[in-house]
Structure 1
Amino acid sequence: MAKPYRVAVFASGQGSNFQTLVDASKAGWLGADIVLLVCDKPQAPVVERARKAGVECFLFDPKAYGRREDYEQEITAELNKQQIDLIVLAGYMRLLTSVLVEPYAGRMINIHPSLLPAFPGKNAIGQAWEYGVKVTGATVHLVDGGMDTGAIVAQAAVEITEGDIIESVEEKIHAAERDLYPKVVSWFAHDLVHVEGRKVRILSKPEA
């Protein structure tokens, strides 16, 4: 019998995407177990969500370390101990170094609130709003160590209409994220993601 597909979620804030993944896992269709939360803010609401869900937490204070690489070595050791198959970044607000990125190349994903390569980096929704685009959205991409530069796995478009305000656009994008992210994680869990350079193909799921 194959071992369960094990996922670690990295988050720093409210944890709405974390909760969506936990709910999908418990509903039985994700094909993966959410077994670890990694959080750099021990007081963040996502930590309480994890505890209520029975998900183990690895909490740390970056200020207690001299370098990013120091705490990332501890995180990597914990990931190895937990036999993590996939890292899912869900509002984790820290840049990553090669200590984490290299061992998990092709097995670490992030979700970004724009249609990359447009509007990378911080305040992507605000950037799109100020630019006046008519369509924005959400992107799930592989993490390669750059700022939202990894190969694109999936995208969901969100239309900006005349009646929208920036808060309504934010809610539409967050809803798109909550729909898209569990689907992508399930593709990884079912070994449907095939990467060739910057091209990512999603294979057809075999019939049960």
Structure 2
Amino acid sequence: MVLVSGSGTNLQALIDASTSPDYGVEIVAVGSDRPGILALERAEKHGVETFVLETSSYADRASWDIDLAAKVEGFDPDLVVLAGFMKLAGPAFLALFGGRTLNTHPALSPSFPGMHGPRDALAYGVKITGATLFVVDEGVDTGPIVAQVAVPVLDDDDEDTLHERIKASERAMLVEWVGKLARENFHIDDRAVRLGGAPT
């Protein structure tokens, strides 16, 4: 299951990878909080079922979160991937899918959380930044880290050029690790994400 809010470049990379039998992943559905976006078109083009739940249709975020959790549960996914999904997972969603929902962040967590990782990295003057794949928890970009990839900051970088290079590395990391986690399973030992089932 993949949740999206925008153009769906990460989704497309996952769709492309999933066409290989060796990848071990089937995308059972794609959901969004926004109608009419390119990501939904990408999914529909490949025959993947889609749905939209707009927050504006609900009296409050808690009601939307409950319905989102129920909708996703109906597809019985092993993993939920937030691929550019611009809404925080709430308590109802995490009650069902906490520990198996993945998201990426365009910085090396725990540095530069929030919406502007590349901008904040440039402002701080770091020489290396990157992207982080993590298991979603109730915080903002605070969950247990699955994988990270480093991206050098170049002297002539601006926010856009740096972010584009981060996104390319982020996409490759996401595709590699979604496949790996799906094929090998994983568990969380304190904050450490370990491949394989939980030890007995």
Normalising by structure 1, we get a TM-score of 0.89
Q: Which moved more, 1:73-82 or 1:42-51?
A: 73-82
Matched residue, 2:76: 83
* 3-state SS of 2:130 partner: strand
Deviation at 1:182, TM superposition (A): 1.1
Pairs aligned (count)? 196
Deviation at 1:194, TM superposition (A): 2.9
CA contact (8 A) 1:140 1:155 kept: yes
CA contact (8 A) 1:38 1:57 kept: yes
1:135 correspondence with 2:120: no
Equivalent position amino acid for 1:70 in 2? S
**Superposition map of 1:1-208 within 5 A:** 8-202=1-195
Deviation at 1:167, TM superposition (A): 2.4
CA contact (8 A) 1:30 1:182 kept: no
Deviation at 1:178, TM superposition (A): 1.2
- Alpha-carbon separation, structure 2, partners of 1:127 and 1:164: 13
Structure 1 unaligned segments of length 5 or more: list them: 1-7, 204-208
- Alpha-carbon separation, structure 1, partners of 2:184 and 2:72: 20
Equivalent position amino acid for 1:180 in 2? M
- Alpha-carbon separation, structure 1, partners of 2:195 and 2:155: 35
Deviation at 1:183, TM superposition (A): 1.3
CA contact (8 A) 1:30 1:185 kept: no
- Alpha-carbon separation, structure 2, partners of 1:15 and 1:76: 21
Deviation at 1:147, TM superposition (A): 0.6
> Deviation per CA, 1:36-66, whole angstroms, max 9, x where unpaired?
1110110221111111111111102211101
- Alpha-carbon separation, structure 2, partners of 1:167 and 1:143: 26
* 3-state SS of 1:137 partner: strand
CA contact (8 A) 2:181 2:195 kept: no
Identical residues among aligned pairs (%): 39
CA contact (8 A) 2:5 2:34 kept: yes
Structure 2 unaligned segments of length 5 or more: list them: none
Q: Which moved more, 1:86-95 or 1:157-166?
A: 157-166
- Alpha-carbon separation, structure 1, partners of 2:159 and 2:62: 37
**Distance change (3 Å), C-alpha of 1:174 and 1:29:** farther
Q: Which moved more, 1:28-37 or 1:147-156?
A: 28-37
Q: Which moved more, 1:86-95 or 1:190-199?
A: 190-199
Deviation at 1:172, TM superposition (A): 1.0
- Alpha-carbon separation, structure 2, partners of 1:181 and 1:133: 23
Matched residue, 1:206: none
Normalising by structure 2, we get a TM-score of 0.93
RMSD over equivalenced CA pairs, Å: 1.4
